[in-house]
Structure 1
Amino acid sequence: MTSKLEQELEEMLPFWNKLQNEQKAMLSQRAIDKNYLTGTILHAGSEDCVGLFLIRSGRIRAYIVTEEGKEITLFRLVEKELCIFSASCMMRNISFDIWISAETDVETILIPSSLYSQISEKNIAVANFTNEVVSSRMSDVMWVLEEMLVKSFDKRLAHFLIIQSDLEKTDTLKITHEQIANHLGSAREVVTRMMKYFSEEGFIVLKRGSVKIIDKQGLKKLI
């Protein structure tokens, strides 16, 4: 009889039906439930290699930390997505440290790095899927870095607010200026000045600990 965990793995791993029965059994037996509260660090740089996270619910955030201690969000992952950068020991060519934290309360399935690597080495479907995921995430990273180099801060902030609204499915965002600064690799004071400008222009309404978007089209025109 198929277990609930095995059903979830089949649903969330595109290569499941191309695995050998022995490989399916190993994944089902060694994958474990791991739940985290908002703000918990799941993965702390290249020296950490906890494994691969399959997200059951919630949202996680991958980011880098600059030499000045500023955080820059690279990408966010949501339900039914796979976080592969938490298994950094599998990717020797990644030359920068990626940190991963729970942006909301999250429920995950953790696949040990050694097990995934073992299966990937023997199964071309798993290896191809892994390469596709890494390529996609690296494209996200390059896009973020390009945005920082090319776009002015007002455009980046407007884009962030729109994306955050889409993620939260609401125009009222419970987020502080400090948190926004961490996402965008900026200083809180810079965010505060630009948010005040957005407020004066009628794009948003500022409240303590939250932002309400009242003119999303106006923000989109800034991008």
Structure 2
Amino acid sequence: MARAMTDAESISIPLEFMAKWMTQYKTWYHFVLESYRSRFEELLTTVDHIAFRNMDERLLFYLKGQKETLRSNKLYLSNTEIASDLNSSREVITRLMKKLADRHLIRLDRNYIEILSLEF
């Protein structure tokens, strides 16, 4: 599943081109392998976090990742969206976000979350 957080364009490459390009172009071959490797590392990190981390640690990691990905301290995400991404309930995320706001790590606004500092 993919969700665009900003305006984006996507392309779809037919499978027959993929096979041909893999043998014909070394750069394409390396790009595809690097993409698979990167996604696999993300999967392993996710499994590690689900199995061995508390939800507050997972939430901090998630917020840091969103900040880096979007290159912005303002995240236009609802607690429901975050809960869905972290396989948790909205109530748990809301409680943890309130704790982060009380510690002045984030500022909660009606339409966005502003990251002040995620280092503690």
Per the shorter chain, which TM-score range? 0.7 to 0.9
1:189 alignment counterpart: 91
- Asked whether 1:101 is paired with 2:101, we answer no
**C-alpha distance after superposition, 1:39-93 (max 9, x if no partner):** xxxxxxxxxxxxxxxxxxxxxxxxxxxxxxxxxxxxxxxxxxxxxxxxxxxxxxx
Aligned residues: 119
The one of 128, 135, 140 equivalent to 2:42 is: 140
The verdict on how the C-alpha distance between 1:178 and 1:119 changes in structure 2, with shifts beyond 3 A counting, is: same
1:115 alignment counterpart: 17
The verdict on how the C-alpha distance between 1:110 and 1:141 changes in structure 2, with shifts beyond 3 A counting, is: same
Alignment partners' CA distance in 1, 2:31 and 2:70: 28
Report how far residue 124 of structure 1 moved.
7.1
In structure 1, the gaps of 5 or more residues are: 1-98
The verdict on how the C-alpha distance between 1:106 and 1:137 changes in structure 2, with shifts beyond 3 A counting, is: same
Bigger RCO of structures 1 and 2 (CA < 8 A, at least 6 apart): 1
What letter is aligned with 2:113?
A: V
Alignment partners' CA distance in 2, 1:142 and 1:151: 13
2:71 alignment counterpart: 169
Alignment partners' CA distance in 1, 2:33 and 2:106: 41
1:62 alignment counterpart: none
Secondary structure of residue in 1 paired with 2:104: coil
Moved more, 188-197 or 166-175: 166-175
Alignment partners' CA distance in 1, 2:55 and 2:103: 16
What letter is aligned with 1:207?
A: D
Aligned CA-pair RMSD: 2.1
**C-alpha distance after superposition, 1:132-161 (max 9, x if no partner):** 321221111111111111111111111222
The verdict on how the C-alpha distance between 1:175 and 1:101 changes in structure 2, with shifts beyond 3 A counting, is: closer
Cα pair 1:158 1:220 within 8 Å, conserved: no
Alignment partners' CA distance in 2, 1:203 and 1:128: 39
Alignment partners' CA distance in 2, 1:153 and 1:104: 26
Moved more, 100-109 or 156-165: 100-109
2:119 alignment counterpart: 220
Alignment partners' CA distance in 2, 1:163 and 1:135: 18
Alignment partners' CA distance in 1, 2:18 and 2:97: 44
Higher helix share: 2
What letter is aligned with 2:24?
A: N
1:8 alignment counterpart: none
What is the TM-score when the length of structure 1 is the normalising length? Answer: 0.48
What is the TM-score when the length of structure 2 is the normalising length? Answer: 0.82
The verdict on how the C-alpha distance between 1:165 and 1:129 changes in structure 2, with shifts beyond 3 A counting, is: closer
Higher strand share: 1
